A and B are shown apart, each in its own frame.
Chain A
């Protein structure tokens, strides 16, 4: 007879076994598929994930499942903070999390971790990026110079953002912005290209935490790093461009 909370057993690459609630485990599309198409009683091998990493991933899944199901009293803002802390790990761990999230097909975790890596790239010069990620520069001097020249001469923008993006788009996007005055948090619907003038009107501050709400409402929100740019029109404009899934 099945108990109200079915458990699934997972064995990692280093032979550790985890017993987790089904609802938590099937956050991973891979595990879900295996569970539904294989023998439900046997242990599922997650070959490419170590015990340490799987443990962290299960923490993540549990937190998000409980929050969505209302089992845990946690506000959206608090969940974002939790996510932000979750990815405050050393680089090796972060990369292991990405690879595991990719292999286990946990979309929101993959987005969260990839966004974190993206934030480590933004604003940096190529040399700095290479150092951060320990990447060897395999360009010849001439080849690198040619790419740099083309980037600067052909594809360089003054001031950071073009002046022809519509100045104030969809107010329905504005109305989807939920602002929490206390924590200066703003939630914007996914797949919106939003250019908001005077976000100082919303938060009256120069910096604001912005979260993207994916289209699936049960998927946790991703924190988008905010760019603060002085555009040609002379405004302080915060330009959010969310990933469009193509």
Chain B
């Protein structure tokens, strides 16, 4: 019997079918099926994710998707987190907001990461998007509390305001007062990044008190411990809470108020904050511990045995962020108590000290890998590692999706055999077939890159520093890692050959960052001519590239694919190596 075709469906039915398809991947696939599907799909897509704000222009997005309600944009490359991207590089959101203001009056959600957001942008947001419900500014900068005041005053339907890790200029303290008294719809508020005097505490208390749906509240450091109990008592329905400073003189009234307040938060599952935490006040959260799925103590200088005691009371933990004060012994306790653990991050308490101040070694990670069968995501700072340990870890946890190891001495060898750590990381990529993100460190030769190219078929993001010996290493990665999308490299002896040989690969990736490597200016120009659809940005604060020889290595190189062509908002120290570059100079 001949198959009927969905082609004959009226558009409204196809649109109804598409309303059950939400993932970008599926929608993208549907848009390629035929021209009419493309048309119907683009009119009913409501959510857009743009992984690199320079890969497409706002005009192009608006032209294709006329009715978007939710947008997510990412700006600067990841290494901006380590201050490797000079100020003024770009990532401005204003052009996007300006264009969207006219096109998307019903926009509900804006999520930005590593973008430059100005007060002007925020004012425009508040004015243009009356139905805005979600504003997330993750690692953004360029705005002040004046911009926040505009948002507070103008966005009557705001549910979520998250300023995670952003840099905010504190001008006046009272932006919270700009939320009108009639405003009650807050569900999530993250102001943990704000500096002193930014938050009017009484305004915060009133805001919390009148928002019955508030579920997530992450305070900033300046909120003192003795104010927490009062705040919590107004919001016993919280699921996630971040304290301010967690230090104060031990006072029995403050203590018992806190105990009661935490006790009444029956739904609390996630705690963070704990700046400068003192052990005396830790027990107040004991009533919550058995329910906790997420605990962030990365700002808490708590040491063992208090730290271990706390951890042992949290059997439901899935996500743990902690300083290396936990030591191997604490991690062993974690391994035996927290069988649901999925994510572990251990940060260094004294990264620049010459001698280790704590006893945190590879043994702790081995213990967790052995005791926690659901472990999937690791970020681990430590001072020593061995191939044997890495092999054991890999065998224990074949389900890793993210593995980031940061040895504080970047070129340190296996401390037992004095060999490079190639074999250890090789085991990680070989056993962990679903690995999507990997950060390498330690003494590493070209070998490890050969293993990565051979085994890491699902790897999407790779971060490398001070590793490898030659271009062959880079070639292994570029030619072998089929799923690679983001590659960031610093201080590695990689030059022109691998890059030019794998030029086509760069069009299959979102971006490549190379700094303090050996890529020559000449190679960048050649790449620019050969691959016109890539934006090849050379950054050099010392002066224009033409003042140096072709063979001189460039300081920083950022390459990304784009359908929008070269950008025109570059600062003086960024040059694009497009086809015209060579002729511009002559």
Distance between Cα atoms of A137 and B436 in the complex (Å): 33
Question: Which of A147, A197, A234 gathers the greatest number of chain B CB atoms within 10 Å?
Answer: A234
In contact, A133 and B7 (Cβ under 8 angstroms): yes
**A121-B26, A122-B26 known; A151 vs B31 contact (CB < 8 Å):** yes
Chain B min CB distance to A166 (Å): 6
In contact, B6 and A230 (Cβ under 8 angstroms): no
Distance between Cα atoms of A196 and B409 in the complex (Å): 38
- A166 partner, pick from B28, B48, B61, B188, beta carbons under 8 A: B188
Q: Is B72's beta carbon under 8 Å from chain A? A: yes
In contact, A115 and B9 (Cβ under 8 angstroms): no
Contact string, B420-445, partner A, CB cutoff 8 A, digits 1/0? Answer: 00000000000000101100000000
Question: Which of A123, A129, A200 gathers the greatest number of chain B CB atoms within 10 Å?
Answer: A129
**A95-B9, A162-B111, A234-B343 known; A156 vs B56 contact (CB < 8 Å):** no
Contact string, B17-36, partner A, CB cutoff 8 A, digits 1/0? Answer: 11111111110111111110
**A138-B35, A153-B561, A158-B460 known; A230 vs B49 contact (CB < 8 Å):** no
Chain B min CB distance to A170 (Å): 6
Q: Is A235's beta carbon under 8 Å from chain B? A: yes
Interface residue ranges of A109-166 to B (CB < 8 Å): 110-111, 114-115, 117-119, 121-126, 129-130, 133-139, 143-144, 147-162, 164, 166
User: How many A residues have CB within 8 A of the partner chain?
Assistant: 68
In contact, A235 and B342 (Cβ under 8 angstroms): yes
CB-defined contacts of A133 to chain B, threshold 8 Å: 3, 5-7, 33
Name which residue of chain B comes closest to A234, CB basis. B377
Q: Is B269's beta carbon under 8 Å from chain A? A: yes
Q: Is A243's beta carbon under 8 Å from chain B? A: yes
Q: Is B239's beta carbon under 8 Å from chain A? A: yes
In contact, A168 and B239 (Cβ under 8 angstroms): yes
**A153-B56, A162-B72, A234-B377 known; A168 vs B34 contact (CB < 8 Å):** no
Chain B min CB distance to A53 (Å): 13
Distance between Cα atoms of A126 and B33 in the complex (Å): 5
Chain A min CB distance to B45 (Å): 9
Contact string, B205-234, partner A, CB cutoff 8 A, digits 1/0? Answer: 000000001011000000000000000000
Interface residue ranges of B192-213 to A (CB < 8 Å): 213
CB-defined contacts of A153 to chain B, threshold 8 Å: 55-56, 561-563
CB-defined contacts of B416 to chain A, threshold 8 Å: none
Distance between Cα atoms of A72 and B319 in the complex (Å): 46
Q: Is A198's beta carbon under 8 Å from chain B? A: yes
Chain B min CB distance to A8 (Å): 26
In contact, A121 and B23 (Cβ under 8 angstroms): no
Distance between Cα atoms of A164 and B340 in the complex (Å): 23
CB-defined contacts of B23 to chain A, threshold 8 Å: 122, 160-161, 227
CB-defined contacts of B25 to chain A, threshold 8 Å: 156-157, 160
Q: Is B180's beta carbon under 8 Å from chain A? A: no
In contact, B318 and A235 (Cβ under 8 angstroms): yes
In contact, B32 and A148 (Cβ under 8 angstroms): yes
- A135 partner, pick from B6, B213, B374, beta carbons under 8 A: B6
Q: Is A99's beta carbon under 8 Å from chain B? A: yes
CB-defined contacts of B485 to chain A, threshold 8 Å: 156, 158
In contact, A117 and B6 (Cβ under 8 angstroms): yes
Name which residue of chain A comes closest to B1, CB basis. A92
Q: Is A87's beta carbon under 8 Å from chain B? A: no
Interface residue ranges of A30-56 to B (CB < 8 Å): none
CB-defined contacts of A198 to chain B, threshold 8 Å: 293, 318, 340, 342
CB-defined contacts of A68 to chain B, threshold 8 Å: none
Q: Given A99-B13, A160-B23, 20 more contacts at CB 8 Å?
A: A91-B4, A95-B9, A102-B12, A114-B17, A124-B29, A147-B32, A151-B31, A153-B55, A153-B563, A157-B24, A157-B51, A159-B460, A164-B111, A164-B136, A166-B188, A198-B318, A230-B401, A235-B318, A235-B342, A243-B20
Residues of chain A at the chain B interface (Cβ within 8 Å): 90-92, 95, 98-99, 102, 110-111, 114-115, 117-119, 121-126, 129-130, 133-139, 143-144, 147-162, 164, 166-171, 197-198, 200-201, 224, 227, 230, 232-236, 241, 243
